[in-house]
């Protein structure tokens, strides 16, 4: 018999990417909840967590022209984001492969993704943008990648309590 103290804690419940898409669309459709919180920082993307639950979290981000995330994943979390104002460009790639796909996510559109998704999000237009992001379970870590001639290469891991 295994003692209870030796059992691993149960994995946190996970919402589906589709459900997270519904959550971000609902939050974006209620700007009275978050519009007064928005700040724009010319030095870096600004962000603020709007909601934290056991199985998900929701963030508000602002983007000035040219601001970007760099290639990253979301650790073991699935996610979704929607653009509430402006538009964002998402570039997606697979580690070890040089191919990159690109899409514009316009205001009102939702982008949902699974655990293995690696992307770079940027404001490639001339006006500020706002977006709402959700992750499930809440982010514990994010891995950063660099694009090389042979594809994405892991460069760093950021931990929630230390890096954001």
Domain boundaries, the chain: 13-163
In this prediction, residue 10 carries a pLDDT of: 65
Residue 120 tokens, joined: 């770079």
- Tell me, what's the pLDDT at 162? 85
Which CATH superfamily does the domain covering 13-163 fall into?
Jelly Rolls (2.60.120.10)
Consecutive H or E run containing 24: helix 17-28
pLDDT at residue 46, rounded to an integer: 97
Sequence-distant (≥ 6) Cβ neighbours of residue 131 within 8 angstroms: 60, 61, 63, 81, 82, 83, 84, 88, 121
CA 69 – CA 36 distance, rounded (Å)? 24
SS3 162: helix
Residue with tokens 């459709």: 29
Q: According to the model, what pLDDT value does residue 7 have? A: 64
Nearest to 10 by CA among 137, 113, 135, 140: 137
Q: What is the pLDDT of residue 12?
A: 64
With a cut of 70, list the residues of the chain below it in pLDDT. 1-12
What was the pLDDT predicted at 161? Answer: 83
pLDDT of 5: 54
pLDDT of residue 8: 62
């Amino acid at each position: 018999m295994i003692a209870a103290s030796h059992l691993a804690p149960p994995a946190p419940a996970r919402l589906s990417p589709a459900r997270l898409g519904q959550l971000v669309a609902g939050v974006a459709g209620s700007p009275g909840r978050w519009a007064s919180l928005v700040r724009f920082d010319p030095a870096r993307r600004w962000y603020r967590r709007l909601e934290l639950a056991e199985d998900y979290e929701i963030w508000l981000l602002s983007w000035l022209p040219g601001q970007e995330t760099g290639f990253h994943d979301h650790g073991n979390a699935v996610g979704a984001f929607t653009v509430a104002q402006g538009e964002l460009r998402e570039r997606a790639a697979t580690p070890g492969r040089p191919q990159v796909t690109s899409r514009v996510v316009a205001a009102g559109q939702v982008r949902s993704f699974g655990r293995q998704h690696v992307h770079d999000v940027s404001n490639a237009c001339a006006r500020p943008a706002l977006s709402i992001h959700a992750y499930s379970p809440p982010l514990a870590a994010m891995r950063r990648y660099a694009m090389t001639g042979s594809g994405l290469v892991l460069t760093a891991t950021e931990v929630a309590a230390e890096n954001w």
